[in-house]
Amino acid sequence: MLSIILGTRPEIIKLYPLISLLKKEKINFNIIHTGQHYSNNLNNIFLKQLRIPKNKIINLKVGSTHHARQISLMAIGIEKYLKNNKKVKAVIVYGDTNSALAGSLASINIKNIYLIHLEAGLRSFDKNMPEEISRRLIDHCSDLLLCPTKTSKDYLLKEGIKKDKIHIVGNTIVDALKSKIVQSSIKKNFNKLKKNYLLLTIHREENTFDPNKLKIIISSIQKICKNQKLHAIFPIHPKTKKLLSRLKYDQKLIRVIQPLNYLSFINLLKNCKIVVSDSGGIQEEACILKIPLITVRNSTERPETIKIGCNILTSVSSNNIYKNAKIILKKKIYWKNPYGKGDASKKSLKIIQKMIHKNEKKYY
Ligand code: UD1
Ligand code: UDP
């Protein structure tokens, strides 16, 4: 049996294609949901819309607390489950969240359970981000590392990880975007929305820790909107909402809405003129859907998007966001998606099955 660890919105979205494949192939699996995200619009709407089977989910309901406590509570719950379930052959974690780190810490000392890291090898080289620490720790204790691109594979090789543990499979976000439910929704809604808006999402610790940073982002967005004759749509993360309530902004220019379900969000992204965000996943989606993007952060673990010219990395200072938005809006869109053809889940499953069947010993 395979145990899939997830806990946040992007993990549900990016693991949905693999979960659908496991269902289709009738492969035994379960899902350990840490409960890191629990609000209806960060969790349930995705489980429901993406048809994640309820009967396969064990929810640890850890909820929000400080990092170390959250990770510990999750790891304790996952370890307890794994120790009591001898059928589990491998644990799959995705990306760089506290849930993924907890899943890894819980699995590494259990004999005969492989730890598999999907979306391995991303590096921002910015140790101020909790995600950077987590992804490094996960990569260095995993038995199998499934990377989205050659760049991520090369980072792992440079860090001394054995070549035979690493495979390039692409990113499962392409599988998600190419899935039937997403494609038919895009077809149905394309051009229904007027392309006269900017899409904004902000949730990273570096932009939500200090109200002044959010203030600068908001005033830059207002400037872009006035200059480009756009309005902004801002599906807001609950933690950013708390901070925004302390700031003044032009509510006609910036329309703050609840976080959206996946299909509604992708339609909004597909039809917008430009996206300004600090998200990881949205960097990939904007690049795949050919939408110009400004990433408001000091570093990115997705350098592929910068290299092909669809994304400008922009640190938060008063004129930067405005200036770079003007530049990216003038660019011709002819970049190629670097994240694969949409078969990352299939490729990953094949490699996982081969590894389990060979019954290889752990590498360390
Ligand atoms: C987490 C991940 C981040 C990922 C993001 C995806 C870590 C360290 N961070 O950030 O890498 O990009 O998820 O969205 O793993 N909250 C709610 N409802 C919820 C969950 C959280 O209101 O369902 C609020 C709480 O006030 C909480 C805060 O958001 O304290 C932060 O939640 P947390 O899960 O720690 O981090 P995210 O910012 O969501
Ligand atoms: N997303 C969504 N609704 C929203 C905002 C984002 O469905 O209101 C999706 C988005 O399409 C992407 C994922 O959530 O697939 C990104 O999640 P987030 O930005 O929270 O996390 P990150 O990718 O930065 O870890």
Q: What are the structural domains of the chain?
A: 2-175+342-363 (3.40.50.2000), 182-330 (3.40.50.2000)
Q: How many whole angstroms from 303 Cα to the centroid of ligand 1?
A: 24
Residue nearest to atom 14 of ligand 2 (CA): 10
Closest CA to 232 of 277, 258, 262, 198: 198
- Among candidate residues 203, 231, 237, 357, the one labeled active-site is 203
- pLDDT, residue 360, reads 52
Instruction: Tell me whether residue 203 is one of the annotated catalytic residues.
Output: yes
In whole angstroms, give the CA distance from residue 219 to residue 328: 19
168 sits in which H/E element: strand 166-168
1-36 burial: b if 16+ Cβ within 10 Å, else e: ebbbbbbbbbbbbbbbbbbbbbeeeeeebbbbbbbb
Residue 327 tokens, joined:
């530049």
Please say if the pLDDT value at position 97 is more than 80.
yes
Angle, helices 98-107 vs 130-141, to 10°: value is: 30
Is any ligand 2 atom within 6 A of the Cβ of residue 285? yes
Give CA 256 to chain center in angstroms.
22
Please say if the pLDDT value at position 197 is more than 90.
yes
pTM of the full predicted structure? 0.97
Angle, helices 281-289 vs 9-24, to 10°: value is: 70
Please say if the pLDDT value at position 92 is more than 50.
yes
In whole angstroms, give the CA distance from residue 306 to residue 295: 10
- Report CA-CA distances (Å) from 138 to 76, 255, 298: 17, 38, 23
Neighbours of 206 (CB within 10 A): 17
Residue 232 tokens, joined:
């902004």
Please say if the pLDDT value at position 353 is more than 60.
yes
Farthest CA pair distance, the chain: 61
- pLDDT, residue 332, reads 86
Is any ligand 2 atom within 6 A of the Cβ of residue 282? yes
- pLDDT, residue 364, reads 37
pLDDT digits (tens, 9 = 90+) for 225-244: 999 999 999 999 999 999 99
Mean pLDDT of 38-66: 97
Q: Are 143 and 92 in contact (CB under 8 A)?
A: no
Neighbours of 257 (CB within 10 A): 11
In whole angstroms, give the CA distance from residue 12 to residue 97: 12
Ligand nearest to the CA of 176: 2
